[in-house]
Chain A
Amino acid sequence: MRKLLLMMAVAACGPKPAPAPIPMLPGDGDAHVAKPAPVKPPAAGDAWTGRNDLIAAPVPQPPAAVELPKIEEFKLSNGLQVYVVKRDRLPVVAMQLAVRAGRMHEPRARLGVAELTADMLVKGTKKHDAAALARTIDFVGGTIAADSTFEATLVSCSVLARNANTCFELVPEMITQPTFPDAELAKLRDGLASTMRQRLDDAGTLASAHAQNLLWGNEHMRGWINSEQSIGSIKREDLVAWHRAWFVPGNAMLAVTGDVDPRKLKADLERTFGAWRKGPIPPAPTYPEQGLSGSRIRLVDKPGQAQTHIRVAQYGIRHDDPRFFDTLVWNYTLGGAGGRLARALRGDGKAYATSSFDRNVDRGSFVASTAARNSEAVAAAKGMLGEIARLAKDGPTKDEVDAAVASITGGYGLRFQSAADVGAALIGAELHGFGREYLTNFAVAAGQVAVADAKKAASEILDPKAFVMVMVGDAKDLEPLLIKEGWRFEKVASTDPITAPVRQPEVPADAKAVAAARKLIDDALAAKGGKAKLAGLKAFRMTATGMTTIQGQSVPVEIARVFVLPDKMRIDATLKPPRAPRDVVVSIAVSGETGWQRGPDPKTNDYAVAEITGSGLASANFERWREPELILLKAADPAAKLSPGPDETIDGKAYAVVRLRSPFAEVDVTLYIDKKTKLIGRMSYSDGGSTETDDFADYRDVGGLKFAHKRNSTGAGRSTALELKAVEVDPKVDPAVFAKPAAP
């Protein structure tokens, strides 16, 4: 194959080493997540049928222990645990620092904070901004990375030995003095939100996520699934709080491997990590398991999905379970390359059929996975359950155990090649409370699994009667099959949030408080220009210019908005991407109960006009209802459901808070009214996960009414900053502007 490359490489800065690994235990990632391989049954009458002189694969000898070089251990005076491995065959030094702060520690209202914080560590410190960090590590041809996993945040740095000081300088800086700059955070958050959106569009990923939620429930951290919305709502102060709470030296460990002098190293590390002050270590949150009895099936409807992705999940084991190695073996038998699932389900060689189990300190899940055409989905699910039951009853054969051990232990040595690998393996073991013996004896322990042990473990851990099942496919095809089978199931839409949104507690309607809220609305109306004046408004038109950030790219935009009361609204957004030949114009209009939109087809760039119906129309109607210039009239309506909230301070200003219930599916709009000026400073709403925030400033009088001339909106991975250029009160508006255009 031609190295595709070259011109791709033209954009790279020279040969790059492989990215430093996230703490993995040897065998992580591949050994227990069995990978599919094409298993072709021998065709009758081919060149090799009936031959007895074919080359046979060798019978592996019992696996031997892995030799590890000497590991020096010491603690710095601030409590940081350090491991040093000298390996000087090559002039390389690698540093791996792990903090016990990962997804499992996240509060429900801040899903994604671990990942965001980790990603932001390379985006700026007190001494180096993002560009300077990149320049510093690029200059020496090294790599630096920060990642988060289920259990930890890992910062890794690899350099030539002569440049070791670069790692010694940058890693402590990133850990102790990150600055989390706003601009970088916005870009990163948008990118991550976008990735979330794409991932949950993938039926396979969706199936796995739903399986976790169904197995663990909405009150257990494993059941909380990261989403575009959850990421989008994380703010800088959340990162700061997370970092301050968890990033303390007593909650971390450091591995330094390669061409180092362990004796000299201690003094160097005391110096470079000395500024990292001790702090209390927060307790890791724990959650009760909801228990599993009987079976539960969730059908996730994805219209148009022709292939159903199926998951069967149940509880797994803790990493320190004495049956751990037995489980590695029976899991490989079930879901490994050429395993029982693959042989039973991959007749046409297309779909995958695998199984895996989590390897964490706390008990995780066991998941069997496959995909099948919709018409075969129930048969495939039954096939999976059948194989699980069979293995639980009979256990693996001797041949199967031998094959499993060969595969699990054969590749084990591959995990100890680079200095960074050794450091990561060490960290991985220590994070789970294992010492070096785990690493050196892993292969030996796997080799000692007897057939009877594997069978006993499978029968204890697998339960063919108590499980959860998820199917992601087209319900049109799947429901009849499930009903025919007599299987009870719950149905959800693929677009529904996977994790139930956190219900805001309903504030009891205290009469005095509601009255105070009403007075506040009256004051706000007065500040706006008066209720009578606002209610007498027949129409208004405004144009604004500014910038909108889409997928991390900032694009100049011009927005024209015209409103003819009571129910005609049209918005035209003109985007001017730099270096594009022409502008992009997106228009949307609603009038009464109908609406249309016009915009370019992303594939062809041709413009198209379409009617808006269904949930699109509901969205447009909601936009119309919450029109910022008119929202106070909605709030002043005697029938309006108001509930006051506690005052809030934003950017140093004090705001009174009023929540207003909208007529749309329990969505609340929250108004933040400046306590001094009584003008609306912010309006936000949340539809159970996604939060959109509009900020208003620079109010100026136009025709007796106050209009905010500066508007910033953030939410759903996008942010827009606008300045009003023109406002017309009661202009003449040609009704034709609201009519659906005939041709694009």
Chain B
Amino acid sequence: MVRSLVARRVVIVAGLVAAVPASSAPDVPRAVGKLPAVETFALPNGLQVAVLPGDAAPIVSVQVWYHAGSKDERRDRRGTAHMFEHMMFEGTTHVRAGAYTQSINGLGGYVNAATDEDATHYSNTLPAQHLDYAVRLEAERMRSLLFRPAMIEAQRAVVKDEIRQQGSSPFARGLLGCLAVAYLKHPYAWTASGNVKDLDATSADDLKQFYDAYYQPNNALLVVVGKVTAADVKASAEKWFGAIPKASDPPRPAAAAAEPAQTTARREVAEPGPIGMTLVGWHIPAAKDKDIYALQLASIVLGAGEGSRLKLRLKTADPKTKQALAVEAGMDTIVREEPGMAIALGAFREPAQADPVLAAIFDEVGKLAAKGPTADELRKAKNQVQAGFVFSLETTQGLAEAIGRSWIFTGNPSSFLRDVDEIEKVSAADVQRVTRQYLPADHATVVVFPPKAR
């Protein structure tokens, strides 16, 4: 889907979050650099608002984060949340289809939207003088989307197209395959893209039900970052969102579908593909757990960058056989509002390599569990996480997203401010401990995609 002047942002590492100790009252996290504090307030109808006054540049990012993602979907209606990401630009009571994007572009700004398992967020970046306009547009589409049959058909086709394109990536297929085996009960078994069959079965009523349940002020956070004052934001928020009545709390199907602890290993062989893959997944805690920082660092040491352990082990040619075990390797953590996963991967060409790849992955994880990372590995991993995070905060859009993600993960829009410090505190012993505790072979889900015969 083309929205002028901006491409989709691909979130590579799903945000970092502060561990909010359950026993203490939420304190004001220390700032990153000299960022001012995030000012927060709520409207009587439950709409949360977060404001971060920005730098000198006369721009503003206005975002709305709906606490609605694919984990709120029915199991036979996957893709519902994703549909809204597209439909919300296609015509409301007072805004013609396409005019939303066009008008913001015409003011020199740009729009974007993204869906994941926990949230759907809508982003507008435009000259600061138009803050009120952006807030008005967001309030309009929160409750006034028109469910026109032709529009629904058109966007369904767009979403199905995205699913097909994604299906042509072996790595994406690998990920989806691993999640489906790792989660027996919880909706994280599927991701936000959706499923073609389910989408075809999704009626306008299904969509409207989802909209009425989740697209409500008491299920949303309005984030404003830029050359604005909290007073201006409050005035606009009250003016445009104030009249929307509070709704009942939205259903949380995931609450009744907690994933039971995985106590044994699982292994499945999936459909052959153009390239062979062995994926190994482990369940990890939710984003706000104190161990998440150490787990992310463990994952980086193991599988991010050409110097990481898995890459070196799997991609370096054996001096005897002159062959490497794999053509690609890596690891990443999926950090979510509820317990996510750490997933390691090795990609290879010969069927016989599947098991040696798996053995090598377990061996490397085992080594990290036994001895922990070196000082250099730990320092480099911390540097990379901290640098990437700080760079992302240089733009109003990046800052707004950090705020929105914090709210989704912890309920506190400011929690991201502690991330740099919390990462710094992780010790080598912490990394070793979490590796041993959360990444043992006997709790792993293994999915093998054999390479197609050639």
User: Which A residues contact B (CB, under 8 angstroms)?
Assistant: 1-18, 30, 35-38, 40, 42, 46-48, 51, 53-55, 57-58, 60-61, 64, 66-69, 87-92, 135, 138-142, 158-160, 163, 259, 337-338, 403, 406-414, 416-419, 578-579, 581, 605
* Neighbouring B residues of A579 by C-beta, 8 Å: 323-324, 327, 349
Cα(A419)–Cα(B115), bound, Å? 30
Q: Do the beta carbons of A48 and B331 come within 8 Å of each other?
A: no
Closest to B56 in A: A67
Cα(A259)–Cα(B393), bound, Å? 14
Q: Do the beta carbons of B383 and A163 come within 8 Å of each other?
A: yes
Given A403-B106, A414-B59, A14:B385 Cβ within 8 A: yes
19 pairs from A and B in contact (CB 8 Å cutoff): A3-B12, A6-B332, A7-B343, A10-B303, A11-B328, A14-B305, A15-B13, A15-B391, A47-B96, A55-B94, A57-B107, A58-B107, A89-B55, A160-B387, A337-B105, A406-B107, A407-B108, A414-B57, A579-B324
Q: Do the beta carbons of A9 and B387 come within 8 Å of each other?
A: no
Q: Which of A8, A135, A338, A410 is most buried by chain B, counting CB atoms within 10 A of its CB?
A: A410
* Neighbouring A residues of B105 by C-beta, 8 Å: 37, 337, 407
One of B28-36, B242-250, B265-273 contacting the partner: B28-36
Q: Do the beta carbons of B383 and A139 come within 8 Å of each other?
A: yes
Closest to A48 in B: B96
* Neighbouring B residues of A259 by C-beta, 8 Å: 33
* Neighbouring B residues of A35 by C-beta, 8 Å: 4-5
> B129 interface residue, CB < 8 Å from A?
yes
Given A37-B102, A53-B94, A58:B330 Cβ within 8 A: no
In the assembled complex, the CB of A579 is this many whole angstroms from the nearest CB of chain B, namely 6
Option from A7, A14, A36, A135 in Cβ contact (under 8 Å) with B300 = A14
Closest to A138 in B: B305
> B166 interface residue, CB < 8 Å from A?
yes
* Neighbouring A residues of B381 by C-beta, 8 Å: 14
17 additional A-B pairs beyond A17-B392, A89-B34, beta carbons within 8 Å, are A1-B192, A6-B334, A7-B171, A7-B175, A13-B300, A13-B384, A35-B4, A47-B146, A48-B96, A54-B95, A88-B34, A91-B33, A163-B387, A410-B126, A414-B125, A416-B56, A578-B323
Option from A1, A7, A55, A91 in Cβ contact (under 8 Å) with B82 = A1
Closest to B306 in A: A13
Q: Do the beta carbons of A17 and B391 come within 8 Å of each other?
A: yes
* Neighbouring B residues of A413 by C-beta, 8 Å: 57-59, 127-128, 227
Cα(A29)–Cα(B374), bound, Å? 44
In the assembled complex, the CB of A258 is this many whole angstroms from the nearest CB of chain B, namely 9
* Neighbouring B residues of A5 by C-beta, 8 Å: 10-12, 172
Q: B419-454: contact bitstring with A at CB < 8 Å (1 yes, 0 no)?
A: 000000000000000000000000000000000001
Q: Do the beta carbons of A141 and B384 come within 8 Å of each other?
A: yes
Cα(A4)–Cα(B116), bound, Å? 11
In the assembled complex, the CB of A418 is this many whole angstroms from the nearest CB of chain B, namely 4
Q: Do the beta carbons of B305 and A17 come within 8 Å of each other?
A: no
Cα(A90)–Cα(B395), bound, Å? 11
One of B43-51, B130-138, B283-291 contacting the partner: B130-138
| A-B CB proximity, top 7 nearest | A410-B108, A13-B305, A15-B388, A7-B171, A10-B330, A141-B387, A17-B391
Q: Do the beta carbons of A38 and B57 come within 8 Å of each other?
A: no
Option from A3, A12, A410, A419 in Cβ contact (under 8 Å) with B305 = A12
* Neighbouring B residues of A64 by C-beta, 8 Å: 58
Option from B146, B227, B380, B393 in Cβ contact (under 8 Å) with A138 = B380
Closest to A89 in B: B34
Q: Do the beta carbons of A58 and B133 come within 8 Å of each other?
A: yes
In the assembled complex, the CB of B374 is this many whole angstroms from the nearest CB of chain A, namely 12
Option from A10, A57, A139, A160 in Cβ contact (under 8 Å) with B390 = A160
Q: Do the beta carbons of A1 and B385 come within 8 Å of each other?
A: no
Q: Do the beta carbons of A57 and B2 come within 8 Å of each other?
A: no
Cα(A61)–Cα(B108), bound, Å? 13
* Neighbouring A residues of B198 by C-beta, 8 Å: none
Q: Do the beta carbons of A10 and B331 come within 8 Å of each other?
A: yes
Option from B11, B126, B148 in Cβ contact (under 8 Å) with A3 = B11
Q: Do the beta carbons of B136 and A55 come within 8 Å of each other?
A: yes
Q: Do the beta carbons of A409 and B108 come within 8 Å of each other?
A: yes
In the assembled complex, the CB of A233 is this many whole angstroms from the nearest CB of chain B, namely 32
Closest to B297 in A: A14
* Neighbouring A residues of B238 by C-beta, 8 Å: none
B window 7-53: CB within 8 A of A: 8, 10-14, 32-35
Closest to B14 in A: A3
B window 277-324: CB within 8 A of A: 300, 303-308, 322-324
Cα(A78)–Cα(B324), bound, Å? 50
Cα(A16)–Cα(B392), bound, Å? 9
* Neighbouring A residues of B391 by C-beta, 8 Å: 15, 17-18, 92, 158, 418
Q: Do the beta carbons of B332 and A9 come within 8 Å of each other?
A: yes
> B191 interface residue, CB < 8 Å from A?
yes
Q: Do the beta carbons of A14 and B13 come within 8 Å of each other?
A: yes
B window 109-163: CB within 8 A of A: 109-110, 114-116, 125-130, 132-133, 136-137, 140, 146, 148, 162
* Neighbouring B residues of A605 by C-beta, 8 Å: 454
In the assembled complex, the CB of B208 is this many whole angstroms from the nearest CB of chain A, namely 16
Cα(A189)–Cα(B395), bound, Å? 35
Q: Do the beta carbons of B58 and A90 come within 8 Å of each other?
A: no
Closest to B79 in A: A2
* Neighbouring B residues of A54 by C-beta, 8 Å: 94-96
> B216 interface residue, CB < 8 Å from A?
no
* Neighbouring A residues of B329 by C-beta, 8 Å: 10
Q: Do the beta carbons of A416 and B57 come within 8 Å of each other?
A: yes
* Neighbouring A residues of B4 by C-beta, 8 Å: 35-37, 337
Given A3-B116, A67-B56, A407-B108, A15:B33 Cβ within 8 A: no
Q: Do the beta carbons of A58 and B130 come within 8 Å of each other?
A: yes
> B222 interface residue, CB < 8 Å from A?
no
Given A58-B133, A163-B383, A414-B57, A2:B330 Cβ within 8 A: no
In the assembled complex, the CB of A18 is this many whole angstroms from the nearest CB of chain B, namely 7
Cα(A12)–Cα(B136), bound, Å? 39
Closest to A91 in B: B33
In the assembled complex, the CB of A118 is this many whole angstroms from the nearest CB of chain B, namely 23
Q: Which of A38, A259, A605 is most buried by chain B, counting CB atoms within 10 A of its CB?
A: A38
Cα(A160)–Cα(B424), bound, Å? 14
Q: Do the beta carbons of A1 and B114 come within 8 Å of each other?
A: yes
Closest to A15 in B: B388
Q: Which of A42, A579, A605 is most buried by chain B, counting CB atoms within 10 A of its CB?
A: A579
In the assembled complex, the CB of A266 is this many whole angstroms from the nearest CB of chain B, namely 23
> B203 interface residue, CB < 8 Å from A?
no
Q: Do the beta carbons of B454 and A581 come within 8 Å of each other?
A: yes
* Neighbouring A residues of B65 by C-beta, 8 Å: none
> B394 interface residue, CB < 8 Å from A?
yes
> B404 interface residue, CB < 8 Å from A?
no
Closest to B146 in A: A47
Closest to A581 in B: B454
Given A58-B133, A163-B383, A419-B394, A138:B307 Cβ within 8 A: yes
Q: B77-116: contact bitstring with A at CB < 8 Å (1 yes, 0 no)?
A: 0000010010000010011111001110111111000111
Cα(A403)–Cα(B345), bound, Å? 51
Option from A88, A142, A408, A416 in Cβ contact (under 8 Å) with B387 = A142
* Neighbouring A residues of B219 by C-beta, 8 Å: none
* Neighbouring A residues of B57 by C-beta, 8 Å: 66, 413-414, 416-417
Q: Do the beta carbons of A55 and B137 come within 8 Å of each other?
A: yes
Given A1-B162, A13-B305, A47-B146, A90:B116 Cβ within 8 A: no
> B229 interface residue, CB < 8 Å from A?
no
> B416 interface residue, CB < 8 Å from A?
no
Cα(A579)–Cα(B315), bound, Å? 12
Option from B56, B192, B303, B324 in Cβ contact (under 8 Å) with A2 = B192
* Neighbouring B residues of A403 by C-beta, 8 Å: 106
> B217 interface residue, CB < 8 Å from A?
no
Q: Do the beta carbons of A38 and B58 come within 8 Å of each other?
A: no
Closest to B93 in A: A47
Cα(A40)–Cα(B96), bound, Å? 11
Cα(A68)–Cα(B57), bound, Å? 8
Option from A12, A18, A68 in Cβ contact (under 8 Å) with B12 = A12
